[in-house]
C-alpha cells in the first residue's frame, strides 16, 4: 500500500509542487463538518445508519485526503528528487 501511495505521489508531483491550498481546503472542510455534526450531536440529534455513513464520509474523507497530501508536500520539500527516492525505497 505504501509503494502504491508513493508511486502515485511521484507520478503526480514530480513536475509540480503540491499546493498548500489543497491542504487548507481539506482541513477547512473537515473542521466545518466536524463542527456541524458535533453541534447537532450535542443538541440531541440521533443519526440513523445512513446519516452516520454520510457524516463519516464528509468528516473523515477530507481529513484523510488532507493528511496524505500534507505528507506528500512535506516529503517533496526535502529535496528535488525526494519523491523518487521514497518511491524506490518503498518498492523494494
Complete DSSP assignment for 50-92 = HHHHHHHHHHHHHHHHHHHHHHHHHHHTT-TTHHHHHHHHHT-
Q: Which grid cell sits at 44?
A: 440531541
Local structure of 73: helix, strand or coil = helix
Work out the average pLDDT over 4-17: 89
pLDDT of res. 54: 92
Q: What is the mean pLDDT of residues 50-62?
A: 91
Q: Tell whether pTM > 0.85.
A: no
Model confidence at 91, pLDDT cuts 50, 70, 90, reads: confident
pLDDT in tens, 18-40: 888 988 999 999 999 999 999 99
Residue 9, all three cell numbers = 505521489
Amino acid at each position: 500500500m505504501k509503494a502504491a501511495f508513493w508511486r502515485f505521489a511521484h507520478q503526480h508531483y514530480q513536475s509540480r509542487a503540491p499546493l498548500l491550498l489543497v491542504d487548507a481546503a481539506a482541513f477547512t472542510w473537515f473542521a466545518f463538518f466536524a463542527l456541524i455534526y458535533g453541534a447537532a450531536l450535542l443538541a440531541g440529534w440521533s443519526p440513523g445508519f445512513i446519516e452516520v455513513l454520510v457524516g463519516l464520509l464528509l468528516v473523515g474523507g477530507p481529513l484523510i485526503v488532507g493528511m496524505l497530501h500534507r505528507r506528500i508536500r512535506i516529503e517533496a520539500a526535502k529535496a528535488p528528487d525526494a519523491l523518487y527516492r521514497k518511491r524506490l525505497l518503498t518498492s523494494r
